[in-house]
Structures are given as structure tokens and as C-alpha cells.
Structure 1
């Protein structure tokens, strides 16, 4: 259908299919619809509605087949990123002066979860995204990268916030662990549904981790400084409780398993390695309230003024677990040797570094604000 002709001084009403004279705002009757101001308001609302419709259609097309919609993505290096506005999308990685960079402005949307994206995890062909849940209930979205199965979005109305997630390296059973404000949620992905088991914890869970090559044994670190071990194969009466294996002595923000018996725990106060073969004494015990003895404490990573979670941290487990990187509240990013504890390199950003990730190719991806850059070491 052709658009109606624009007649100067007249407004065409698409509902009534008629033209009406536009009156100056000062001369129009009270609440007159066809005054200059009301027509301008109506046009802005119509333009916004049309823009929202285009965004929904673009997002729906991208969700059906995201990699076919951008010629720069197919067969090229790409990153999956989340934003504070609740968008998750694919960003093509480009070469800029010999350096790899990704511009979030080139993001092709996959899903919108209405609040800040707190984590993105990948297991086998499955992708899990979680949102904070500020004005809306926290959400998690599970999708298959081949898009052979429809994506699944779940709201968690009994949870205040979702803080983090991690994925199992066991490709035979795609599993995820989600840390919330009151639980560790174990998720097993299936083609058309998910199996969820909630393990209640009386503290915010800021860090989660599976033991290597396992989809049933996992760790959860919380605000109260405890790290608990769960085994989904155990009877529910035992598995739901979780055994405290480490008391870190401060809020736990990250966990990385070096082996089935050794883990690195990072927190607001320090970073240390613990041996799970020597778990923390159970209560009642004279030493239950004390911090667990660590096999190594990284002196260079001891912090006295750290007070915020959300700083980047990772260990290059694909390269043998020999390099660790962490960020602090003063915008410093430091690279350490896991074995010797020696600081290998440091650099400072203009804004807090909120994301650090090794990609297994001796490359480190770092995000701060809207910047996403790659470093080699």
C-alpha cells in the first residue's frame, strides 16, 4: 500500500484515513490531538514503535541462524559478548595494526535478557547466558550453537540475583553450574528441556567450578568465604548440603581447578592454592573457624583495599595451568606464574578490567568498559 501524500499544514491519521489541519499549539483547544505538539509526539511514538519492531525482527532472525547473517563472521574468529543493557551477541574479531580487536558496535544480537549480563559459559555445543535481574526476575538462556533445537529462557523468581556460571569440560554430558544469591544451580542440557537441581547456600555464590572431566562434582565459593564441594551422584540428603572443603578467610570471587585435587581460589583479600585431599576440619572443631591452610599464597596478589567483585580473573588451564591473570580495583592487570608465583607482566587500564579469558592459543582477551582487546604472552 502506497504512503499517503504529505500536505503542508495537514496531518494524515492512518486510523481514520483522513487529513486534519494542524493548529498551532497556542491556538489549539485544550487536549487537541492535532496541535503541533501532539502531532510531533505521535510521530515520535510511531517512529519508536517501528524501531522496536525492526529490532525484534532482527533479533529473531539472528536467533534462528546467527552466523549466516554477517559475512564477516562465517569462518572467522569471533567472540560472544554480553552488555550491561542485557544484550548477548556475536562480535567479529578484526586485525587492527597487527592486533586483534573486537568492536561491540559491530555486535550481531542473539538474545535480550532485560538486565545486565553477568556470565556467558560454553559447554560442548551449548551456550548459557545469565542476567543480573535488577527490575526483572533473573534469567538464564540456554541455546544450542547449531540451532538444531530452540533456545530455552528460564526465569528464577525465587532468586534475587544471578552472579556467575561455569561449564563442565565433559562433552558427553553438557552441564552448567550457576551461582545465585542463595544457591548453586546445577543444570544438565537436553535437546528440548533442562534438568535443574538447586543446592541451597546461605550466602551469595560468586564463584563456581567443575572438577576436570566431570559433570557431577563441582565447587561453589560464596560471600561468606567458604568453598563447598557437591556431588550430584550422592543421595539428595547429602548432596544438597555441600561439604565445606575450604575456608578462604574472605569473600571468594573466583575458583579454578588445576586438577582433581588442586584448586586456585581468588577473593577480595588474597589468592591461594588449596589441596582438596586435605579438606577443612568439620564442625565442631577447634580449628573450624580458622582459615584453611593453603599450599601456596600469591604474595603479589594480596590486596587490602579491594571491596568490589566483578574484576577479571583466569588461569590458562589449556596450556598446563602455568599462567594466571587477575585484575584489581586500581585498574592493574597482572600476569603470574602459577608454579613460582612470580609476576611476569603488568599493565594498567583507564577503567576497571571486568573480564579476562585465555583462549588456549596463548592469547588473553581482556574487556574494560566497551573495549575488548587481545594480548599474546
Structure 2
């Protein structure tokens, strides 16, 4: 009987309740004595539903209110409710987070928020970069004219000069002065700068004047690390000053410079080596990993944290201030995948992008580790990228653009694929196949043009090392 009474409602009662609900959703404007002008805000009742978007109004989730977007000419661009201020606020919030659509709780809503039917600037610029990737075509290739022509293992593009610094399988470190536009590429000169002990495993640039190179090692000697002082200026100068050397006692697979201080990380066989203060008083800490370290990245927000991707498929996080003798597995959560980790890259403050030798490519949240009742851990990426091909090698090309919204990765089929880090989708059809495997690749941008007139003609595109040659893909005649 009670159930029937609850369901017995007259149509007049239901219509009255519906009208009250509609009128209570948005209250009347505040009086003029309020600290906020009545024409600049509307309050919203707390609801489980997503607030509706009202043209000309900005919804602030923290204050649970609508604020009217005021014209810049009327209140000034510095006013917190001006169009410029609100647009800047939305852009800053979008850049603080990685915005994959599949992340739980709808984090992608931050990018989908619209102001007067216009998409946020972050999304707009990201879409423009994807259009640029779709426009890439092969412009040309360069076979370096150094003394020895051997397979290229790794390279870096100088940020302020048109130079490529690279290492090969014979242990040579060379520089190649280039001219690369959107429609052509050519070598101006090529010089061998150093001859190291064995095959080059990694080449890294710190700031603009320091080059770090590591060697794998061989049956005679273990892997070594060298820090070389580059010649200043764009001129032809092959004189290198060796600033620091380190012998690991084992194979060195990879290396990384800290972007905050002078720390260096080396990934070796079953250990992570961190060198601090190498310029004056070097301090070396060796952390046990129980697995070979194939990939490294310093935390760009916490200078004492190092991410290490290992052969056993685990990502270990180390605090270099801790006691290295007790840091057997690192600190904090570990990420586990089914195959060896080949490359890693920190994206934003909490996300790690990693690829595996089984062709996987995943985005992980380091805060997302969960423990079951049986004390086992569950590792789930927030986003998975489908289509990469790999099953045999850790040294295929991998790079993320400066804005951290596009990843390029080379596969075992000698093709290069591009993915949107925000959505996980492929941006274009794979390019290739090339004659040889793509051992390294690097995005080339205009970001440093304003610092050096020499870069005025630098094209936007991507360099790839395939076998013994460099291949240049740019936007061709579709120059944006």
C-alpha cells in the first residue's frame, strides 16, 4: 500500500515540481553591493550533471558559478573576467594535464570546454600540429661524407645551429652541418670529432655546449661515458674538450641529462648509475635494479627523481637522495608490462609514455597502481596505442615533440608511425618502409628560430637515421 501512495501523483503536482526545478537551477543576479558585478556572474545549484555551456559565460568549477566574459575594451585585458584572462586560464589548465579521452572521470572535458563556440587554444594548436604531420612528405636524404660510413646508432639536432651530432657502430662521434628547408636538404660539411672505444649506444645534448656519448662496450673493455665540450658558434671546428669520463664496468645501454641540475643517469646491466656534481666533485651512486636498464628519464618537476625502464618490463622510480644499498626495486609505484621497456618519456607531471619489445606503446599514470587482496598488484595503462610492430630490437627510433602531444615511433617493419598522445589515435598512415631499420629519429621545429638568424630557413619536419643515411621529411610545398 505504501508503494502505491508514493506513485500516486497528480499531473498538476508533477508540472508544478518541474517548474520549480527549472527556476531553481539558475538564481537571480546579485545586487550591486556584491563584490562581483551583477552583469558578470550567474550562480548554479550543485548538481551531479555536467553544467550546461552558455554562450558568453565561463563556468568556474571551484566556485560553482557562471562568470560573464567581459569585452577587453570595456574592462581591460587584465580583468579576471575579460576574454583574454579567461582564455589564458583555460589554456594554462589544459597544459597542466595530459588529456587522453579514455582517462576515467572525463578529464578530456577540460579540453572540450568551449568559450563562445570556440575550442580551447590547446586543442586548436594540437590539431594544427596533427595537420602538419599529415602533410609530411620525403624531401631528400643525406649519406654523410665522413671517413667511415657505418650504420648510425643515435643522433641529436643542435637547437641553435643547423648541425646534426651523431654516433655510429664504429664508435665515431661526428658533426654534420646541414641546410634543410621545407623543400630541400643538403650536407655542407661533415667532420669526425672523436673516436671512442666501441659502438655508440646513446648521444645526448645538454644545454647547447655539452655532448654526452656512451658506448656499449666489448670483449676488451666495458661501456664508457664521455662528456665533450662542443665548439662554440656555427663555425667549422672539430676541436673537442673532454670534460669527464666514466667507466661503468658493464654494458651501458642508455643515458640521460637532468634538465634542472648537472646530474647524469646511466642505464647499465642490472644497475642504475647516477652521477652528481661531475663538473667539480663527482659523486656516483649505483642503484641495484636486478634487471638491465634500457630507458631513462629524469623527472622535470622533482630534480631528485629518476625513472628507469628495465628489461623485465618494470618501470622503477628512484629517489637519488635515498640509501642506494636499500633501493633494490626503487621507490614509489612500479609499472609492469609484459615485455622489456625500450623507451620512456615523462609526459606532464604524472604520466609516463613507454614502448615495449612486443610492439606495445602505452601511457601510464604513476599514481594508478592498485593492490589486490592477495597482495598482488594490478597495472593498467590509461591509454594504449595500437599499430606499432616490434618483437626483436630495443633500438628503434622514438621521439616526442616539444609540446608533448605527438609521439613518433619506428617499427620492425621499417615504418614510422605517428600517434596523438591526447587521444591514442594514429594521426596518419605509416611512412615507409625504408631500406634499413630506423635506429633513431628526431622532430625538427622552428622553436629556436628567434635565437639565431641561421635557422630562418630551417624546415619543420622530422629527421630519421636509417642504416647509413639521414632521411628528411618535411611539409614540402604545403608550407604552413
- Contact kept? 1:217, 1:231, Cα under 8 Å: yes
- Mapping 1:2-17, distance limit 5 Å: none
Distance 1:238 1:327, change over 3 A: same
Match of 1:347 among 412, 415, 431: 431
Secondary structure of 2:256's match? strand
Distance 1:358 1:85, change over 3 A: same
- Contact kept? 2:409, 2:416, Cα under 8 Å: yes
Q: TM-score, normalised by structure 2?
A: 0.56
CA distance in 2, matches of 1:142, 1:280: 41
The alignment yields a C-alpha RMSD, in angstroms, of 2.7
CA deviation vs aligned residue, 1:356-375 (integer Å, no higher than 9, x gap): 12244353221011111333
Residue 278 of structure 1 deviates from its aligned partner by: 1.9
Match of 1:375 among 455, 473, 480: 473
Residue 273 of structure 1 deviates from its aligned partner by: 0.6
Q: Which moved more, 1:199-208 or 1:337-346?
A: 337-346
Match of 1:131 among 215, 220, 223: 215
Q: Which moved more, 1:305-314 or 1:247-256?
A: 305-314
Does residue 296 of the first structure (1) align with residue 383 of the second (2)?
yes
Secondary structure of 1:340's match? coil
Aligned to 1:250: 339
CA distance in 2, matches of 1:191, 1:154: 13
Does residue 232 of the first structure (1) align with residue 315 of the second (2)?
no
Does residue 272 of the first structure (1) align with residue 362 of the second (2)?
yes
Aligned to 1:153: 245
CA distance in 1, matches of 2:193, 2:259: 24
CA distance in 2, matches of 1:121, 1:263: 20
Aligned to 1:215: 303
Match of 1:79 among 153, 164, 168: 164
Distance 1:281 1:218, change over 3 A: farther
Larger strand percent: 1
Does residue 111 of the first structure (1) align with residue 194 of the second (2)?
yes
CA deviation vs aligned residue, 1:196-245 (integer Å, no higher than 9, x gap): 22111111111111122443211101111111000112344554641351
Q: TM-score, normalised by structure 1?
A: 0.70
Secondary structure of 2:367's match? coil
CA distance in 2, matches of 1:211, 1:94: 34
Distance 1:198 1:360, change over 3 A: farther
CA distance in 2, matches of 1:97, 1:363: 8
CA distance in 2, matches of 1:167, 1:300: 30
CA distance in 1, matches of 2:438, 2:186: 16
CA distance in 2, matches of 1:330, 1:209: 27
Aligned to 1:198: 286
Secondary structure of 2:297's match? strand
Work out which structure has the larger RCO, using CA pairs closer than 8 Å and 6 or more positions apart in sequence.
2
Distance 1:208 1:296, change over 3 A: same
CA distance in 1, matches of 2:287, 2:310: 13
CA deviation vs aligned residue, 1:16-60 (integer Å, no higher than 9, x gap): xxxxxxxxxxxxxxxxxxxxxxxxxxxxxxxxxxxxxxx9xxxxx
Distance 1:190 1:203, change over 3 A: closer
Secondary structure of 2:424's match? coil
Residue 341 of structure 1 deviates from its aligned partner by: 1.8
Gap runs ≥5 in structure 1: 1-54, 56-72
- Contact kept? 2:228, 2:244, Cα under 8 Å: yes
CA distance in 2, matches of 1:122, 1:298: 28
**Which protein has the larger Cα radius of gyration, Structure 1 or Structure 2?**
2
